[in-house]
Amino acid sequence: MQELIKDSIMKHLANPSNIDVPLEALDDSAVIDDIVFTTDSHTVQPLFFPGGDIGSLSVCGTVNDISVMGAQPIALSLGFIIEEGFSIEDLDKILESIGKMSTEAGVPVVTGDTKVVEKGALQQLVTNTSGIGKRTELLDNNIFEVQRHREFNEKWLKDSNLRPGDKIIVSGYIGDHGIALLSFREGYGFESEVQSDIWPLNKMIALALKGGGVVAMKDPTRGGLANTLHEWAGKSKFGIKIDEDKIPIREGVQSACEMLGIDALNIGNEGKVVIGVVKEKAEDVLKIIKTTNEGKFAEIIGEVREDMTGVAMVTSVGGLRLVDAPAGDPVPRIC
């Protein structure tokens, strides 16, 4: 269905050529007139879960989608669609967590809209958060640093920017959000050790840019790390090779994945970023990220390669495994 939708959308909504990062790029955000602009609807179920709720998810998802383009998020919009009779106490809790995350990120909600629909027309509540961001000197300086090491003619940190030799950093444990949600929903019991990683990454990302040499960033949400790497490999037209032993995975997530027969690489995250950096700066950027709470378990997990296409992983036992592009996320209504 997603494929059909994508075809249908692209057929009718082709963008004019003056747009820096158009709809067709299917990147984390669009860029027009140096304004970074993104949108996300949230249908997560249940609304409250270990480590977060639909409110924190709404704020962080959008803050992160803007930040990974290399921009500074400056404002959010918030749309609610609410089923009649929804608990005002729960709504208040959701708004409280929106307020908290917005304050944490330093990005205000400046405009909103609320629609109430009759009972039965919607399961509880869904949200939409859009956001805008702007170019900063930090991004300009980061790009200048990239250009000291290799040719680079881009203004934004797009999915298509990776080149052979670039190193790939993951900012911390993967799979936490999806496993926390799935386990809580199904009662598997892993949620005692695994909580969602929902967090606004704009401050950590600003530090990474200060390090310099960053060519691309992406938050590995639906479809997880595997999806991010495939988007990058496909749009950049080079292969990516990663090292299984380097990928930070929490023990509880690993056990849950083994028990459930799902691949942690395919599971959505909400507080992680994957960073492509010129090789000369990879260790510097890693070191800076590791000074932050949200990035203390960051690792360099691989690199971009000219001698292959797609995504491959050197396994713990030394073999080479092809990493498939996930068809979707194994956990439904994850965000």
Residues from 60 through 99 that contact a copy of itself (CB under 8 A): 74-75, 77-82, 84, 88, 91-92, 95-96, 98-99
56 binds a copy of itself (CB under 8 A): no
Rule CB under 8 A: choose which of 9, 259, 320, 327 binds a copy of itself.
9
30 binds a copy of itself (CB under 8 A): yes
Q: Find the part of the chain contacting a copy of itself (CB under 8 A) among 29-37, 229-237, 258-266, 301-309.
A: 29-37
Q: How far is the CB of 16 from a copy of itself (least distance, A)?
A: 6
Q: Which is nearer to a copy of itself, 311 or 335 (CB)?
A: 335
Q: How far is the CB of 161 from a copy of itself (least distance, A)?
A: 18
Q: How far is the CB of 294 from a copy of itself (least distance, A)?
A: 23
Contact (CB, 8 A) for 276 and 232? yes
Q: How far is the CB of 287 from a copy of itself (least distance, A)?
A: 33
Residues from 128 through 187 that contact a copy of itself (CB under 8 A): 128, 130, 132, 134
Contact (CB, 8 A) for 186 and 239? no
Q: Say if residue 117 is exposed, middle or buried (CB neighbours under 10 Å; 0-12, 13-18, 19+).
A: exposed
Rule CB under 8 A: choose which of 5, 153, 293, 316 binds a copy of itself.
5
CA distance readout (Å), 179 to 32, 191, 271, 328: 36, 8, 14, 15
CA distance readout (Å), 188 to 48, 179, 255, 329: 17, 10, 11, 19
Binding footprint of a copy of itself, residue count (CB under 8 A): 67
Output the CA torsion 61→65→66→69 (10° steps).
160
242 phi and psi angles, rounded to 5 deg: -120, 165
CA distance readout (Å), 73 to 27, 61, 294: 16, 12, 18
Helix (H, G, I), strand (E, B) or coil at 25: helix
Rule CB under 8 A: choose which of 148, 237, 296, 333 binds a copy of itself.
333
Q: Which residues pair with 297 in a beta bridge?
A: none
Contact (CB, 8 A) for 226 and 326? yes
Q: Which is nearer to a copy of itself, 37 or 238 (CB)?
A: 37
Contact (CB, 8 A) for 125 and 54? yes
Rule CB under 8 A: choose which of 63, 126, 225, 274 binds a copy of itself.
126
Q: CB 124: neighbour CB atoms within 10 A?
A: 17
Q: Which is nearer to a copy of itself, 46 or 189 (CB)?
A: 46
Q: Find the part of the chain contacting a copy of itself (CB under 8 A) among 17-25, 193-201, 236-244, 307-315.
A: 17-25
Q: How far is the CB of 55 from a copy of itself (least distance, A)?
A: 9
Contact (CB, 8 A) for 277 and 166? yes
Contact (CB, 8 A) for 168 and 229? yes
Q: Find the part of the chain contacting a copy of itself (CB under 8 A) among 13-21, 210-218, 271-279, 295-303.
A: 13-21
In whole angstroms, give the CA distance from residue 195 to residue 50. 5
Q: Find the part of the chain contacting a copy of itself (CB under 8 A) among 41-49, 138-146, 152-160, 235-243.
A: 41-49
13 binds a copy of itself (CB under 8 A): yes
35 phi and psi angles, rounded to 5 deg: -105, 125
In whole angstroms, give the CA distance from residue 109 to residue 200. 14
Contact (CB, 8 A) for 139 and 276? no
33 binds a copy of itself (CB under 8 A): yes
Query: Which residues sit at the interface with a copy of itself, rule CB under 8 A?
Result: 1-2, 4-6, 8-9, 11-13, 15-16, 19, 22-23, 29-30, 32-33, 35, 37-43, 45, 74-75, 77-82, 84, 88, 91-92, 95-96, 98-99, 102, 108-118, 120-123, 126, 128, 130, 132, 134, 332-333
